[in-house]
Amino acid sequence: MSLTRTRTALWPDLRLMAFGFASAAALLASAPVFGESHETIIVSHGYNEYEDLKYSPDDAHLGYVNPDAPLGGEISLAAIGTFDSMNPYATGIGTAGSLSTTMYEDMMITTADEVGSYYCLLCETLEYPESQDWVIFTLRKDVVFSDGTPMTAEDILFSFELLKEQGTPSYAAFVQQTVASAELLDDYRLKFTFVDDIPRRSLIAVVGGLPAFPKHWYEETGARLDKSRLEVGPGTGEYMLDSLDVGRQIIYKRNPDYWGKDHYLKKGVGNYDSLRIEYFGDTTAAFEAFKAGEVTFRRENSSLKWATEYNFPSLEKGWAVKSTLPSGSLPSARGFIFNMQNEKLQNRDLRRAIGMMFNFTWTNENLQYGLFKQREAFWENERLKAVGLPEGRELELLEPHRNDLPPEIFTEAAALPHESGSRPLDRRNLRAALGLMAKAGYTPGDDGKLRDANGKLLEIEFIEDTQSMDRIILPYIENLKTLGVSITYNRIDPAQYQNRTQTKTFEMRDAAYGVGLVESSGLSQRFGCEDREDVFNGAGYCNPVVDALADGLLEVETYEELAAHVRAIDRIMRYDYFMIPVWTLSDHWVSHYDFYEHPENLPPFSLGHLDLWWINQDKLDDLKSAGALR
């Protein structure tokens, strides 16, 4: 029977990030019913572990889109390097083309103005018991692949089995440990049953995130998910491959028969006729192409260019515009990482000494024009970053592991980046670094170079593949040489860089970890011992206490409990110092030719330039007449 109470009776209403009250329609759409076992069965159009869903299937569109945005035109973007594959799921094999996942859709998708909400896109509903022991997806009957073939539950089950067999090892391992069975109930319904006696958190979201691969195409072609290939299978997405020039250009075009054009989650989304990606050998060539009008939209990531090089004719004439747009997303955790599987780099004192030679203050003021803040935590968020001494629930979580943690975790404030002065080489930090090196067993010889007790030089290689990083990293390299490190800086081509980072045949490199406002099983994939070989665990980091806390994270029932777990993990990882924290930015730097338009209020968690923006054809025609574009 139906109940009048809503889903909030089962999950506390935490108002996670103060996004406002859920609509009555959204609440009613999630109303539970009782099964024969008297366990409540929730039938809903979406899923959120902490909050009420903001949107209902009865909504006309998402709140941050322009449902009347005109369709048409082309967005052109630059990519650096090359590509030799159009299979984005073959990690570690080949270099996939930019946006090559855009042709495929997942059963459920997230929105850009909520935390932790997943909505049915390819499905109509999901149903699951309070225990979350299983979940049943009822698929839409109007979804078709770009070749006109209807999508059925058999395709989703095939996708699941294909990812389990040929996907990344970490995904396969996760599925084997969590999903007991996957079965077809009929042509449009399938059920996933989860393993007994394991945490249920995030499991529904994980299986709900399955993409739709066309079973018939894989069977007809013999294509594999774990092989590099240029052939693409049909997808259900609004864009499909139009043409490609290997290593130079990719064009995706709108599918005129896209099944979801009237779906409330897709109204006002995907407004271009085509997406064009132009490849360039380096960032300088890409920027010149933008200045010349060959590329028309650019997201800048170089503070040097942003501060000094946006003075070209197209900008001065008003043909192009430059703007700083706010971002509510959690900044990535960026820094210089150590390969923790390298024997000499397993010494924390050595790593700390190397880190102390990076001068953020001088770098930001002289090379980055004061545009950045120094990153302190992995999670730069008031509720998720560790601050001061551990207390309250965070301390309770750490206490059972006291014997397995350094005493400083309990007696010293959460580790912060060292302070640096206004000169390139901070002499105070140089002295401190030499002291740490001595503790690590390295002392300078008559030539000033650090050697261990056996007279072996401290040799380290730092690899990078982006030319624009040279000006940031080279002064740091000079500081390390002054310290006595025999360091080599190698800027290598993107293909070689990708291979070396994925196989962990490096010692130091620049990296960024994606972190989230809601963390779940993905945290272990990035920072867990079992996944230390995984491509997503860039440093090969491993700490058994972090593993235990990450496991506990999967059992939390409130956001406050989740935040306490994340703070404890943040505190430990900052102490372990496998990454030298560098800078952070909470804005989007955007420049484009003045024929793009966007909704007045962009959502907090997405710039949306590929999804929400559109083209003003009159402005485009004027720019073409003026000779602004190639």
Residue 565, by phi and psi: left (phi above 0), alpha (psi -120 to 50) or beta? Answer: alpha
pLDDT classification of 330: cutoffs 50, 70, 90: confident
- Quick one: which H or E segment has residue 501? helix 494-502
Same domain, 365 and 488: yes
Q: Does 426 map to a domain?
A: yes
Is a pLDDT exceeding 70 seen at residue 18? no
Which of 483, 439, 462, 451 is closest to 350 using CA atoms? 439
- C-alpha angle with apex 443: 440 to 446, nearest 5 degrees? 170
Is it the case that residue 438 has pLDDT exceeding 80?
yes
State yes or no: pLDDT of 22 exceeds 70: no
Q: Pick from 221, 248, 275: which residue ends a domain?
A: 221
pLDDT tens, residue by residue, 509-523: 999 999 988 898 889
pLDDT of residue 521: 81
Q: Are 547 and 4 in contact (CB under 8 A)?
A: no
Number of domains forming the structure of the chain: 3
> What's the average model confidence in pLDDT over 186-198?
96
| 365 and 321 in a common domain | no
Q: What is the percent of the chain where pLDDT is above 90?
A: 81
Mean pLDDT of 95-116: 94
Length of the chain: 630
Nearest to 248 by CA among 100, 81, 467: 81
Alpha-carbon dihedral of residues 609, 614, 617, 620, nearest 10 degrees? -10
Indicate whether 431 and 515 sit together in one domain: yes
Mean pLDDT of the chain: 91
Mean pLDDT of 179-202: 94
Residue 78, phi then psi, degrees to nearest 5: -105, 145
Mean pLDDT of 301-309: 91
Distance CA 406, CA 319 (A): 58
550, part of any domain:
yes
Neighbours of 94 (CB within 10 A): 19
**pLDDT tens digit sequence for 473-484:** 999 999 999 999
- Residue (of 577, 582, 510) closest to 360 by Cα position: 582
Sign of the alpha-carbon torsion through 226, 228, 233, 239: positive
Kindly state whether residues 205 and 262 are assigned to the same domain.
no
User: Is pLDDT above 90 for 2?
Assistant: no
Question: Does the structure show a pLDDT above 70 at 11?
Answer: no
Residue 611 identity: D
Tokens of 578: 């496998």
| Residue 444 or 525, more confident | 444
Radius of gyration of the chain measured on its C-alpha atoms? 26
Do 420 and 447 lie in one domain? The reply is yes
DSSP, collapsed to helix, strand or coil, labels residue 453 as: coil
Is the model's pLDDT at 47 over the cut of 60?
Answer: yes
512 and 427 assigned to the same domain? yes
Residue 359 shares a structural domain with residue 440:
yes
Q: What pLDDT, in 10s, does the model give residues 238-251?
A: 999 999 999 999 99
Percent of the chain whose pLDDT exceeds 70: 94
By three-state DSSP, how is residue 249 classified?
strand
Which CATH number goes with the domain that contains 245?
3.40.190.10
Please report whether residue 80 resides in a domain: no
Same domain membership, residue 522 and residue 408: yes
Residue 98 counted as domain residue? no
Residue 96 included in any domain: no
Taking alpha carbons only, the member of 560, 203, 523, 264 closest to residue 394 is 560
Are both 439 and 562 inside the same structural domain?
yes
Q: Residues 486, 514: one domain?
A: yes
- pLDDT of 454 above 50: yes
Q: At which of 191, 221, 251 does a domain end?
A: 221
Domain residues for 616?
239-326+587-626
> H/E element holding 471?
helix 470-483
Q: Which pair of structure tokens corresponds to residue 158?
A: 């095939």
Residues 37 and 333: their CA atoms lie apart, in Å, by 46
Alpha carbon distance 84, 521 (integer Å) = 31
- Say yes or no: 470 and 512 in one domain: yes
Q: What is the pLDDT of residues 540-586, one digit of tens each?
A: 999 999 999 999 998 888 889 999 999 999 999 999 999 999 999 88
pLDDT value at residue 167:
87
* Domain presence at residue 89: no
| Both structure tokens of 470 | 């040279």
Q: Report how far residue 160's alpha carbon sits from residue 166's, in angstroms, rounded to the nearest whole number.
A: 10
409, containing H or E segment: helix 408-411
User: Once rounded to an integer, what is the mean pLDDT over residues 123-132?
Assistant: 96
Residue 227 has pLDDT above 50, yes or no: yes
Q: Minimum mean pLDDT among 168-182, 262-276, 326-340: which range?
A: 168-182
Has residue 66 been placed in a domain? no
CATH code for the domain of 439? 3.10.105.10
Q: How confident is the model at residue 21 (pLDDT cuts 50, 70, 90)?
A: very low
Q: Is the pLDDT of residue 235 over 60?
A: yes
The pLDDT, as a whole number, for residue 14 is 26
Question: Which pLDDT score is estimated for 36?
Answer: 53
Better pLDDT: 32 or 93: 93
574 shares its domain with 595 = no
Burial of 23 (0-12, 13-18, 19+ CB in 10 A): middle
Q: Do 71 and 277 form a contact (C-beta atoms < 8 A)?
A: no
- What is the maximum alpha-carbon separation in the chain? 85
Q: How confident is the model at residue 171 (pLDDT cuts 50, 70, 90)?
A: confident
